[in-house]
A = this chain, B = another copy of it.
């Protein structure tokens, strides 16, 4: 009779069988006891089997180094890295991340269940456990055309799948507190499982109602008082430090030794170049400690706290029976990652993934972009007044301002006015080739003599383009459609730069280094064209998200978020 896996591990733990690997003389970060002390750690197969003196086939001397559980990102949209999970892993695993709790909200808005499944398939064979919180809001609103719709029944069919933990960020908090039937049914499908919240600024009785419904975490706190109220009322607080939304500095004062167990770290959205240059959770840990958190507390927030809140019983700590997901650190200040083990295997060293570690399965790409023919005529705006509503971008914020300005009119057409930094914005529906085009004006890009566009456009991910002339706008949109999605800059009828994102129009099929570099290049081109925004593609990506105030444009038209409806472009 073949001895079972568990039996072998128990025998190794007892010392009756040689361990496979012994990590000797490490300084152990024990997130369970909150202590740091010298220890040897024995590993058999994919599992830690003992702390202490063991015989092993191989030994590694970690004298002078810290040994820490692999980091777990409490909330991430991998799609925001613009690369597939395989490439994402290449960036984050050498940074010490061995698990992520992902919400494939973006790809689900394009491809529905097929997208969720595809993300899962693409995450096979990589040294990064990719847990899934099921997207709860597909589509996010009725004011834009998404590529898919997931109702409670769809989610029910996925809820018990492997790696699925619960229900992803419930953005539609109005739907929850107003008891919209499908929203409550979705919550019901996740009964007893983790349900992530998304309640920016939500406080008082509306917050109580949202939590009463069963929503027990939030990663949208921007203010200390907000976070404190949410924590007191039963929410786990995911302190987010993404490329765009950075809440660490404001929220670090929340954490006390009494409540730290309910505080977690999350990246939410990080761009490929930030991942490559700054890092992932290692970066957030470094910054946390610099901002005053004790290293052990910060590490708990990126390991055991996440495991406990999301019900992961075998990761997040260094103890017998836990997965051998381990990070070797030089110190607890710089958080420079020396070595990473996943399931007992050395998978990364000195910032690089080990060769031959990953065995991704091939991806079958299908073009998800379906548009009606695009020409310069389709973005013409008939002037129906002298004054028009304009979306004003506020640098570094997702929030936009609604302003009203006189508009340049020629031959009955309302036109861009780059001297006053007024550009045209167009959103081309790209899922069903309906021909829907939403048009508007935008201030803040500063672009002169050209257009830029993207198929990364939250949450419906239609093609969004801004520019000062119809020819370049059509050029950019057409090129994006041609590539099956991506980012494009056009000038004088020529493509100046592009980054193809053929996977759902969200992710590249290329390496993360390439994507990061190309993205930087594109930003530089934008800058040369007068664009003063630090990240114009991020601004583009949020231009059509009709759930963040004040004014947005979707394929259905201009949306006044306060009124939660499509409004006329002209008039006050």
Contacts and interface: CB of A to CB of B under 8 A. Distances in A.
A212 B258 contact: no
B321 A211 contact: yes
Contacts of A213: 6, 10, 321
17 contacts: A4-B184, A10-B176, A10-B212, A13-B211, A32-B232, A33-B228, A33-B259, A33-B262, A34-B258, A47-B212, A49-B208, A49-B212, A50-B208, A211-B321, A234-B321, A234-B322, A258-B296
Interface string A23-56: 0000000101111000000000001011110000
A320 interface: yes
Report copies per complex: 2
A485 B387 CA distance: 93
A356 interface: no
A363 interface: no
Interface string A194-211: 000000000011101101
A320 B212 CA distance: 5
Range of interface residues on A (Cβ < 8 Å): 35 or more
Interface of A: 4, 6-7, 9-15, 30, 32-35, 47, 49-52, 176-177, 179, 184, 188, 192, 204-206, 208-209, 211-214, 216, 228, 231-234, 256-259, 261-262, 296, 308, 311, 313, 317, 319-322
B313 A33 contact: no
A71 to B, nearest CB: 19
Contacts of A321: 211-214, 216, 234
Contact of A257 (B35, B50, B257): B257
B33 A258 contact: yes
A6 B320 contact: no
Contacts of A192: 313
Given A52-B205, A232-B30, A211 B319 contact: yes
B13 A205 contact: yes
Nearest to A257: B257
A239 to B, nearest CB: 15
Contact of A259 (B15, B34, B49, B211): B34
A394 to B, nearest CB: 31
A14 B209 contact: yes
A52 B204 contact: yes
B11 A179 contact: yes
B33 A212 contact: no
A311 B192 CA distance: 9
* Most B Cβ at <10 Å: residue of A6, A52, A214, A321: A321
B320 A232 contact: no
Contact of A234 (B211, B256, B258, B319): B319
Nearest to A207: B320
